[in-house]
Structure 1
Amino acid sequence: MEQGSLAKKVSQFVEPTIESMGLTLWGVEVTSANRPAVIIYIDSENGVSIDQCAEVSRDVGLMLEVEEVIDSAYVLEVSSPGLERKFFKPEQMSAYVGKKIDIALVFSLEGRKKFKGLLQETDEEGLLLKLEDQEDPIKIEWDRIKKAKLIHEFK
């Protein structure tokens, strides 16, 4: 799960402020499409409200501008990670053992780059994923994972 250098820089800069508000920084994404955007995902044990997102946006937006952390025009978005949350760090996944996840790899494994399955285990080396179409689970190392996200299943 790779994170660009600007996203890392923004994460390190905003995390203390977000934590001082009683929230957790879930992750930061920086997109460079038509209009560059910095997307900050926040969370807490009780979820987050729109008011909390607005407060973080105001405080963090001002800090980013004053300190000139980003040297070009951008749009700032603050959001909860949502039901189908993207994982930014391996340690975020351990709370979701037993849940279905979607993974995209940097390099092919067993002739594939995309996997969907049940997260069975995580450790310091990687994760164990039980695929629907295979008997045995597969081991995927952290450095092979490009993107990973939770798949929410409605019941």
Structure 2
Amino acid sequence: MASIQQRLEDLLGPVVASLGCELWGLEYMPQGKHRAVLRIYIDKPEGIGVEDCENVSRQSSSVLDVEDPISGEYVLEVSSPGMDRPLFKLEQFALSVGEKASIRLRIAFDGRRNFKGLLKGVENDEVVLEADGEEYLLPFELIDKANIIPRF
């Protein structure tokens, strides 16, 4: 059976696409027994405006009300990925080569869980990151959270 995360992506991807946006990713975060936060990140080449977020929120809310994939109460948030854009898919890591990133792993790899460094590429199912003068091949399935570090 598909995870709640995958079910939500399958359900909301077409909704977001129908409104001219890309589903960049989503975060489903249960908070206690009967509460959760569902954060939907949307993007498009010319950038995201408030109207895009409102439209996606309204349409997603309607679909979620009908399909009811989340039991209990939840807060729905829709936003652009922003400057510190989270990375959810291997393709997004590949598109971000040359950027600095912060990566947290689910379990320790090479004695640590947190890495900050330069994204060098993607090889098979691993993210290549240069950090602290070393090159790491981080297994994608171990990545819990990854964000671009904004340049100012």
| TM-score between the two structures when normalised by the length of structure 1 | 0.89
Q: Residues of 1 paired with 2:68 and 2:128: CA distance?
A: 41
Q: Is the 8 A contact 1:8 1:28 kept in 2?
A: no
1:13 and 2:11 correspond:
yes
Residue of structure 2 equivalent to 1:40: 40
Matches within 5 A, 1:137-152: 137-152=135-150
**Residues 63-98 of structure 1, C-alpha deviation per residue, up to 9 Å, x if partnerless?**
110222222211111111111011111111111101
Give the share of equivalent positions with the same residue, in percent.
37
Residue of structure 1 equivalent to 2:59: 59
Q: Is the 8 A contact 1:37 1:77 kept in 2?
A: yes
Residue of structure 2 equivalent to 1:107: 107
Following superposition, the deviation at residue 109 of structure 1 comes to 2.1
Matches within 5 A, 1:112-151: 112-131=112-131, 133-134=132-133, 136-151=134-149
Q: Residues of 2 paired with 1:10 and 1:125: CA distance?
A: 23
Q: Is the 8 A contact 2:19 2:55 kept in 1?
A: no
Q: Is the 8 A contact 1:105 1:147 kept in 2?
A: yes
| TM-score between the two structures when normalised by the length of structure 2 | 0.91
Matched AA of 2:127: L
Where does the alignment leave 5 or more consecutive residues of structure 1 unmatched?
A: none
Residue of structure 1 equivalent to 2:91: 91
Matched AA of 2:5: A
Q: Is the 8 A contact 2:126 2:140 kept in 1?
A: yes
Structure with the higher strand share, 1 or 2: 2
- 1:137 match: secondary structure: strand
**Residues 24-45 of structure 1, C-alpha deviation per residue, up to 9 Å, x if partnerless?**
0011111122641111111111
Which contiguous aligned blocks of 4+ residues in structure 1 show a shift greater than 6 angstroms? none
User: Aligned-residue CA RMSD in angstroms?
Assistant: 1.5
- Which structure carries more relative contact order (alpha carbon 8 Å, separation 6+)? 1
